[in-house]
Amino acid sequence: MKNKFLIMVLVVLMLSLVGSIGFANENVEENQEELFGFGEEIPDYSAYAGISYDMLLELSQYNDNNGFGVYAGGRKWINDDVAIGIEGEFITANSEFNHSDFPTEGVNIFSVGGLATYEVSKGIYAIGGIAPYFATFDDGEETYTENTIGLKIGAEANFALTEELNTVARAIYRGAEVDLDVGNAKFSDIDIGGAQLAIGITRGF
């Protein structure tokens, strides 16, 4: 619980920090035009993909159960500041952990859901959305899959490579819990949420 609170505080601080960029002086704004985001005009659509390092906070309390993932998505820009889109991700962690006396050898997490984007300042985005999450646990003999609805919130910075191509760095907090039935046993509120640090590429069309 303490780790979850600290991550939420970090995300809020990050959003506050990127929001303050909007009050920068004219010289900084000129530099932003060259360093951040797309060219002079926001594209109608953008597509992106990347890799991530995922800290599964509750599961990591039992052992080092952090994992790695991949993500990809697309956005439709409604105006110069707001976009809606869809994003999918896959996370895998193979370290052993034990939750409520349920030993497993790893967990895979998959989701596809909606994501909203708001451009706080040139190339600096606040992002958030909801999605169904599917978690598959492996105890070495069988696999057990459950699903739930979760949310994500975070921020990303887009650094210009060309007018249409950006590199991306982002930090995300994911909140999601599942209930798992194993034979006659039921394990409630297994927290598959956590923090994510990621890098990627995005292209405008």
Q: In CATH, what number is assigned to the domain containing residue 77?
A: 2.40.160.20
Domain range for 194: 2-204
Q: Name the band, by pLDDT with cuts 50, 70 and 90, for residue 98.
A: low
Q: Pick 88 or 36 by higher pLDDT.
A: 88
pLDDT score, position 10 = 54
Report how many domains make up the chain: 1
| pLDDT digit string, tens, across residues 39-88 | 667 788 999 999 999 887 666 555 556 789 999 999 999 998 999 999 99
- With b for 16 or more beta-carbon neighbours within 10 A and e for fewer, the 95-118 pattern comes to bebebeeeebebbbbbbebebbbe
